[in-house]
Structure 1
Amino acid sequence: MKRAAQLPPGIAGRAFTSAEAAAAGLRPGRLRRSDLDSPFRGIYAAPRTLVSAESLVLAYALRMSPDHFYSHVTAALIYGLPLPAHLQRSMTLHVSTETPAVRHGSTGVIGHHVKRGTVRVVDAYGLRVSSPVDTWCQLATVLSLDDLIRVGDALVRRKNPFATLAGLRAGAVRYAGKRGAKALRQALLWIRPGVDSPTETDVRLLLVRAGLPEPEVNGEITDGWGVCIAHGDLVYRDFRVLVEYDDGQHRTNESQYNSDVNGLDAIIEERWRVLRINKSYSSPVIVRRVETALRAAGWRPDQCAPPRESG
């Protein structure tokens, strides 16, 4: 009799079904031994194999029927969307179906029934998942307004966006009258295409809510010949003020770090004021530094306009 550590190569190190176990030569009695975990009915794995949400998602997918799909928080995790820490660590799966009679509850799984035709299901990394827009709408019932804005910004991000702002608007319209619909409408007022990170979202919200003008997100900065020399994190074009957030990651990559330094030097040579901030700066300090730079460039508080939906 083989021990868990000696599972056949085809199923070792991952979750597997009873059918896969049989095909690999394991007898039914072997699956009932205490040295194998069974997180879901009919699914087995060696101990300490399923230690992350990702591993549980892949394990449960082995038993999902064609009318099941991942949704809500689980869909957001699959897409890699920014969630609060407690949800990032969540080991509870959210699974939806359009078939009311289908039972899909299980230990560690929250089941949802959705009205047929109201949720678009797509293939994401080989998994059936609610579409990015529908996932954002579903999250309105569990996220704060700012977290919902961060997810929305991530969906319409600058590189490889999952959705468009028009798509988010259409999603909010479809969800009108449902729980969370008001939060979706409020979030749309603050979501901006072109964001690169949740930190950019946080700093932008901080500055605007402090009464400062809204900056461009990852705006293009050109030299005197009209050639693009950089994309700034938060750009106050009219005042030639640039706010750059240093998250420290680029300092571990010498080539990227040197490129960043050279880019900032080129921006300064074009007579821009560059403000570099990082996580050591408190919110009041960030606001004060940006306000001081804007005032020095001629801005006055009566020039602010209230936030409005982009586009």
Structure 2
Amino acid sequence: MRPPSELPAELGDGPFSVADARQRGVNSGRLRRSDLARPFHGVRAPVGRGPSPAPISDADRWARIRAAARTRAYDYAVRMPSDQFFSHATAALLHGLPLPARLLERSIVDVGTGIRTRRRRGKGVRGHLIPLDRVRVVSVGHLAVASAVDAWVQLSTVLTLDELIIIGDSLVRRQRPTATMAELHLAVARHAGLPGACRLREALALVRPRTDSAKETVLRLLIVRAGLPEPEVNLTLVNRYGAFMALGDLAYLRYKVLIEYDGGQHREDERQFHRDIDRLDEPMEEGWRVIRVNKSHSPHAVIARIRTALLDRGWIP
């Protein structure tokens, strides 16, 4: 069999719509050749192309899964009408929100529209009818996408309470937040009376700004649900002269108890490991009791250590 003929340069090296290809003179036989994948009805994409955008690291499984999911969105976008936008889990993923594995690993794109007759159905596509007064559409990498806050609200029927809290924390995180607490409150108010509204309100009450990671959120929830006082998130620690010492992951200023979560990068990066040790030297010299937590520690043991530290520092249950 002869090798496939070259495609028009105008189609580029990414996905393209069948309609666009035919307008440029590509016949049906060429569109059926094995060098073109069919990710969606009416869409073709070169086989073996790299995902768009590329994964952060070839060794990072989750980065690869996220990249593949983003690629599906770019594939579908070439045939998406102007009245449609990515919503729900697809929107959350495009915004980089911390989705649970079960939503990352599926091969479906969520597409929203405000027009009932334009609601998309088909293999690999889940259509959603979304009143346009309940969503703000933004551009992410040249794609039309529901805002990060709206994606969070839209997922309230499929996420657990803790998953909603984790994503809520991520929206108002310390570095590069994508929303404010006021915006979360407005979004939840707009969602009143709709499916998932009760769970969303419950999650909002437990969302805290200035977090740095999902693990810190999970640790904070563990502490509160164990009946311990709620620690402050990323508290600025100062010495006796008022000079900055460090940011504390979770801290009790009154009792001078500091809880630090050590993620994987702390163990794998030797320089980071030593920086963390040095960073905590001054708080300890100033009388702070430091409790370091990592994934190897059992929840029961973590709570016991924190409880003991608080009791030693004068906390009365």
After TM superposition, the score normalised by the length of structure 2 is 0.88
d(CA) in 2 for partners of 1:99, 1:151: 28
**Bigger relative contact order (CA 8 A; separation at least 6):** 1
SS at match of 1:81: coil
Residue 224 of structure 2 corresponds to which residue in structure 1?
Answer: 208
Aligned residue pairs, count: 300
Residue 198 of structure 1 corresponds to which residue in structure 2?
Answer: 214
d(CA) in 1 for partners of 2:7, 2:275: 49
- 5+ residue gaps, structure 2, are 52-64
d(CA) in 2 for partners of 1:253, 1:12: 40
SS at match of 1:122: strand
Which residue identity does 1:126 align to in structure 2? H
Given that 1:149 and 1:187 are in contact with CA atoms closer than 8 Å, whether structure 2 keeps it comes out as yes
Deviation, 1:122, is 1.0
Given that 1:12 and 1:46 are in contact with CA atoms closer than 8 Å, whether structure 2 keeps it comes out as no
Deviation, 1:145, is 0.5
Residue 241 of structure 2 corresponds to which residue in structure 1?
Answer: 225
Q: How does 1:292-307 map to 2 (within 5 A)?
A: 292-301=308-317
SS at match of 2:128: strand
Residue 88 of structure 2 corresponds to which residue in structure 1?
Answer: 72
After TM superposition, the score normalised by the length of structure 1 is 0.90
Q: CA offsets per residue over residues 74-102 of structure 1, 9 Å max, x none?
A: 11111111121111212211000011221
d(CA) in 2 for partners of 1:136, 1:262: 38
d(CA) in 2 for partners of 1:91, 1:9: 29
Which of 179, 184, 187 aligns to 1:171? It is: 187
Which of 293, 299, 302 aligns to 1:277? It is: 293
Residue 2 of structure 1 corresponds to which residue in structure 2?
Answer: 3
d(CA) in 1 for partners of 2:300, 2:260: 16
Given that 2:113 and 2:119 are in contact with CA atoms closer than 8 Å, whether structure 1 keeps it comes out as no
| Pair 1:135-2:151 in alignment | yes
Deviation, 1:237, is 0.8
Residue 41 of structure 1 corresponds to which residue in structure 2?
Answer: 41
Q: CA offsets per residue over residues 188-218 of structure 1, 9 Å max, x none?
A: 1110001110101100000000000000011
d(CA) in 2 for partners of 1:290, 1:13: 55
- Measured at CA, do residues 13 and 154 of structure 1 come closer, stay the same or move farther in structure 2, by a change above 3 Å? same
| Pair 1:263-2:279 in alignment | yes
- Larger mean Cα displacement after TM superposition, 167-176 or 94-103: 94-103
Residue 123 of structure 1 corresponds to which residue in structure 2?
Answer: 139
d(CA) in 2 for partners of 1:120, 1:269: 49
